[in-house]
Amino acid sequence: MQKILVLTTGGTIASHKTENGLAPGMADDVLLSYFDVPAEVQLSAESVMNKDSTNMQPEDWVTLADRIRNDQDDYDAFIITHGTDTMGYTAAGLSYLLNGIDCPVVLTGSQVPLGMDETDAVRNLNDALTFAIKTPLNGVYVVFNGVVIAGTRAIKTKTKSYDAFESVNFPYIAQVQDGELFNLFEPDPNDKVMPSELKLDTNVFVLKAFPGLQPEIIDYLGEHIDGLIIESFGNGGLPFENRNLVPGIARLTDAGIPVIITTQILQEGQDIYLYEVGQQVAQAGGISVGDMNTEAVVAKLMWVLAQTKNMDTIKVMMQKPIAHDLDFV
């Protein structure tokens, strides 16, 4: 008998109409009734929180991770129902907090609430259950619209369509259809890479580069944060002529504040050494994270900073593949 625990957090999947718009509020037993549970499976549910995922915070990732850790020996898998807007962040956060876990943790949700016409929730719930029961893989995954995505690679790319999530810069793990699991790609084992306390340093900032960005903002941010993530142009480039951003990066690095360089471009990652505009950034101390997506970079930096403030260790950990989050730097 396989034992699966469903942890509910709210989100669209559990929402109903109110005078102020859709808001979560479905009882766990009602949500549980939409699963088609095989005889050999014992399925139970517990409400951990009841939020629109816009209101989800890193502290909620810790709450979920703690709940899973505490009951890991009692269940064969966990399913988390979650709103779609920040599901990618939560999936990434749990991938680090639970790195090395020896069971599957599956996040799912829906674009249309349960109980409404044309809902995609029933399919997603049962696809998540199919994957949880049948996969030999451990670690954190997102199951949505019939596809399985590594937790550090799931990005929401659509606001209304059922195929809301894509696996960016990484193969889809599997497809699920009518209760059958079709494996597409077998990732490397989700080995534990470092002991992890269940804590995060949320004092980070994401700065999107744009033409006209004033360099002074970097020094201002350096007075208030523990880590900076810059979404660069293209392959990691930032301006170094008029409105030169490079000296500010060097000053933050010298002050022991890591500056992580990712790219605004969704596909194919970055090669920070390809152009002079990227090499200048790297020479100033910017830490390239290759083909990672912003959701994973944010969660990983929060996690790493909570473990250490040593700049050399931060660089090593940010550039070390964890839970399938990057292939190259």
Active site residues: 12
Residues contacting residue 90 through CB under 8 Å, at least 6 positions apart: 53, 56, 60, 61, 64, 80, 82, 107
In angstroms, the CA 272 to CA 282 distance is 7
Residue 288 pairs in a beta bridge with 261
The residue behind tokens 């208030």 is 224
Residues contacting residue 105 through CB under 8 Å, at least 6 positions apart: 68, 77, 78, 80, 94, 98, 139, 140, 141, 151
Helix or strand run (H / E) with residue 294: helix 294-307
Cβ-count burial 44-62 (b if 16+ within 10 Å, e if not)? ebebbebbbbeebebebbb
Q: What share of the chain is helix, strand, coil (3-state, %, to 5)?
A: 30, 25, 45
Q: How many CB atoms lie within 10 A of CB 28?
A: 17
- For residue 104, the number of C-alpha atoms closer than 13 Å in the C-beta half-sphere is 26
In angstroms, the CA 53 to CA 56 distance is 5
Could you say which DSSP state residue 118 is in? T
In angstroms, the CA 270 to CA 70 distance is 39
